[in-house]
Amino acid sequence: MKMRIKASSTVLAICILTLSGSAAKAQMATDRNSSLRKIAELYENDMFASVREEISRTEKLSPELEPLTISAMEAYGVKSAIKMGIPDMDPIVDEFLRTYPHSPEKNSILFLQGSHYFSKGEYARAYTLFSQVRISRLKDNERLDYIYRKSFCAMRVGENTDALSGFGKILSLAANEYTSRSSYYTAWLKYIEGDYAGALTFLEQLRNDPEYSSKSGALLLECYFLTGQNDKVLSTSEKIFPSLPESDRRKAAKIVSNAAYSTSDASTAKEYLDIYKNGNTDLTMKDLYYSGAVSYSLKMYREAVQDFSAVAECTDSLGQSANYQCGNSYLMLKNRMEAMKSFKRASELDFDAVITEESIFQHAKLSFDLNRDISVFRTYLERYPSSVKADEVYSYIAASYLLNNDYARAVDALGRISILSREQGANLQKAAFFRGLQQCAAGAYEAALESFALSYRHGRYNHRLALLSQYWNAEALYRTGRYDEAAADNLKLLGTPAFKSAAEYGTAMFNLGYDYFNDGKYQEALSWFTKYTDLPPADPQKRDEASVRAADCRFMLRDYEEAAKAYSEMAKVSGGDIYPAYQSAISYGLISRDNRKVEILEDICTRHRDSGLYPAALYELGRTYTRLQQSEKAVGCFDILVSSLPDTSFRSKALLELGMLSSNDGEYDRAISFFRQVVSANKYSEDAQSALSGMESAWQMMNRPEDFLAYLESEGLSSIKTADEKEQMLFNSAEQLFLTGKYQTAASRLASFLATYPDGIKTSQALFYLGETYSALGVKEKAASYFKKVMERNDPSFEELSTLYYADICYELERYQEAAASYESLMELARIGNNRQLAMAGIMKSRFGSGEYSEAVRAADRILSADAPGEELTDAMRKESLFIKAKSLALGGQREESVSLFEELSKDPSTPEGAESAFMLVQYDYDRGDFDGVRNRVYALSDTGTEQNYWLAKCFIVLGDAFAEEDDMEQAEATFKSIEEGYTSTEPGDDVLSQVRSRLEKIKKMGGKR
């Protein structure tokens, strides 16, 4: 029993112990739950520090807590640490997750940690944490927050697909606190992805949202704009713009401005642009460019220039466009010089091919308009050889040249057009015709023939001008000695019915008479001169000339009696011209009516001693007295010719006659003395040969032939002459005609001499005389050809002067390149007087004439330099050199550099250079759009009282143009009319009145349109 009792006691003890342990465990569980509840309550009441304290206390009092309990308590501690935002929060979280990787609170802790960083704006860190959360493990009240926050973070870190997905989930739920936000951010995401229409779907849902209507307003306007709904931008902005946040107003203002500009509502665009710019010191280049575009649309060109200029320094595509638009703005301000610079800068950039081409074109036009510089147009055509503007370019150039009467360059430009329009063809016909007239005036008849032929080939445009081209072509042919061709042209003209009503009809008939006359066809010439005199409206002066030429024809046809009658009739009406009377006397002599001949010649010699024909009449009278055996009277006539007249052309002939008279009277020694004077004057002339024959006869009559032989020996005139002496004799004969001014005959004799002696000792001199002969006759091309031949012979006696004369003629004929080259040669040859200085001046003018302006400037500087060789620089040459330098700078695109020179020259407006310089300054101000400057300069020039009326009138034309540019058409018209009424042209080619009338006609047409 005892044992059993003992055992029972043990069991009981064990049971007691077991019961005691269970009770303890139960009590511990109760305590644990109580602590968890307390910790949970503290956490729920945001007593996060107390939570951590309670956890620490519990862990100390209950060291044997179960892992789940500890995990639950630690979770509250971690969450409290997160809520408190303690510095070592992240390590605490990391430690917890490593220790309890399967804790049911893991997702809540990660969500809470992510939310902590979300609240701090550390969206990348928050997004990483949110991405680790399993939403299914979150509590219901956490899930909506989680979706929104993760979506927001995704949006902020660029995970737009994730963001849109999350916002979409929120929007798929019933309306909640995140609905409006999600709509806004969805719209934003679609906006940044370029889905503007998609963005609008959500933005329009926020139109009435109290919180987001204003916040999303700027974005709504922008999406409307980006989807091309500019009308909606404008209508919506009227409603929402005043309520937009200040931070959005500038951006929205820019959008509205752009929308208005796109709908051509420039005033509204400007209104909102000013809001955008107000107080903004950080405008971008694009902002400034757009501001310039708006100002340009509103015709606020100065403001446009200011904005575009700020962008123009950029070397990108925006800078190129800004330069181009700046050029357009300057054009509207009438400042063509600055416009040219802007277009040039734009043309030097290649970002936009269209702008580049158009800029080169505009630069070329302005370079041509302002400087007559065609090189930029050439550059344009070289770069764009297939440009459709090629013909436009040449047409434009030609029109400008025509306007300025520069017909040579107009012909060249029009000739480059591939297919001529009717207007262009008519302009070419006109330009070629007037170029031909210019060439005729300069003596370039061969070149004129080409011009008239070109004009005639385009005669279908203007039949009247075609006939005139043929008329002047005949004139040029006549001037070149091609009389048969000239006659053919004139015959064709006179047979054209349309030409019979032309003012030139009678003159063509008159000219045809001369064609035949000079061709030796006197019968035909007589017929046409007679027909001309029979024309009722014949010009009185030409009619008298035709009558005299008709008499000449009868004379050449040896119908002396009729010739005498015709000459006598014309002598009655000839006034101071004694040619008809003289010729009538000659004619009467040929029909043996010497008494009538003497009567007429005595009258001439008594009443017309100042006439050029007086010596010839006196000589012929003396010869007639001789034939009538009135020796005393004959001697009287010949004595006057020998001793009293300055004209020595008849002296030798008179001496011959006196010698013959003396010999006839037996006064052989006296006769020999007269004959000796003839030989002494020119031993190789024809008169000298006659004198030698007379001397030989006289010495033979005195039976002293040895004296004649001795004389011949002393004079080197042996009976057998050398080839050189024969050449000298022929040359002297021709030279005498040249020296006495009988150029037509001299030309024939000199040509004959050259045909006989093409390479003789006098060939160079004969060629030189021919050059001077044709120059005196006005046949400049022939003259140049002979001077050129002298130059090619390198004869030092004539080379220098021939080079000078050839260069001068080339310059007159506008063959500037040849002229410049010849003046350069003269620089090397010059030994005579100031020829070196003339050469330098010629080079300068020739380079200027050919458009080589930089070379002209260098040539002018060479003349103006202090050490310029040659004679001392005259004031006239200094002024000319300064003037050509100034014009070369201006025309070469350096107008600013030319201004000071023109200012200096214009101080003396009494000279042509000074007055033209004043005009250049007026034109400079006009081209810059400085119309006040134009007025001031023109009035100042007028007040000087200068008599340079041409340049003064040109200045007033520019003044009228300035009034027109300012739309003061009434004042412009008054200015042009005052010029028309008060100006008189004094020089051929004066374009003042034609320019004035074209402007008045334009004003008249403008008035008609109004």
Question: What would the pLDDT profile of 54-93 be if each residue is shown by its tens digit?
Answer: 888 877 766 667 777 788 888 888 888 888 888 888 898 9
Nearest CA-CA partner of 516 in 526, 506, 508 = 526
Question: What would the pLDDT profile of 931-957 be if each residue is shown by its tens digit?
Answer: 999 999 999 999 998 989 999 999 999
Q: What is the mean pLDDT of residues 250-258?
A: 87
What residue type is 763 in one-letter code? T
What residue type is 295 in one-letter code? S
Residue 718 confidence class, pLDDT cut points 50, 70, 90 = low
pLDDT at 646: 66
Instruction: Kindly tell me if the per-residue pLDDT of 105 is higher than 70.
Output: yes
CA distance 986 to 57: 125
Q: Kindly tell me the number of DSSP H helices and DSSP E strands found in the chain.
A: 54, 0
- Cβ(240)–Cβ(214) below 8 Å: yes
Q: What is the mean pLDDT of residues 294-306?
A: 90
pLDDT at 610: 85
Residues 6+ apart with CB under 8 A from 996: 957, 960, 976, 979, 980, 983
pLDDT at 719: 58
Nearest CA-CA partner of 463 in 455, 453, 473 = 455
pLDDT at 721: 58
Cβ burial 766-797 (10 Å sphere, 16+ → b, else e): bbbbbbbbbbebebbbbbbbbbbbbbebebee
Residue 960 confidence class, pLDDT cut points 50, 70, 90 = very high
pLDDT at 72: 82
Instruction: Kindly tell me if the per-residue pLDDT of 454 is higher than 50.
Output: yes
Q: Give phi and psi for 568, each to the nearest 5.
A: -60, -40
Average pLDDT, the chain: 86
CA distance 127 to 111: 10
Cα dist. 344→350, 798, 899 in Å? 12, 51, 21
Residue 7 confidence class, pLDDT cut points 50, 70, 90 = very low
CA distance 359 to 341: 10
Question: What would the pLDDT profile of 489-524 be if each residue is shown by its tens digit?
Answer: 999 999 999 999 888 999 999 999 999 999 999 999
Q: What is the pTM of this model?
A: 0.68
Q: What is the mean pLDDT of residues 302-315?
A: 89
User: Would you give the DSSP letter of residue 498?
Assistant: G
Nearest CA-CA partner of 738 in 773, 705, 712 = 773
Q: What is the mean pLDDT of residues 146-160?
A: 94
Q: What is the mean pLDDT of residues 419-443?
A: 90
CA distance 811 to 121: 87
Q: What is the mean pLDDT of residues 530-537?
A: 86
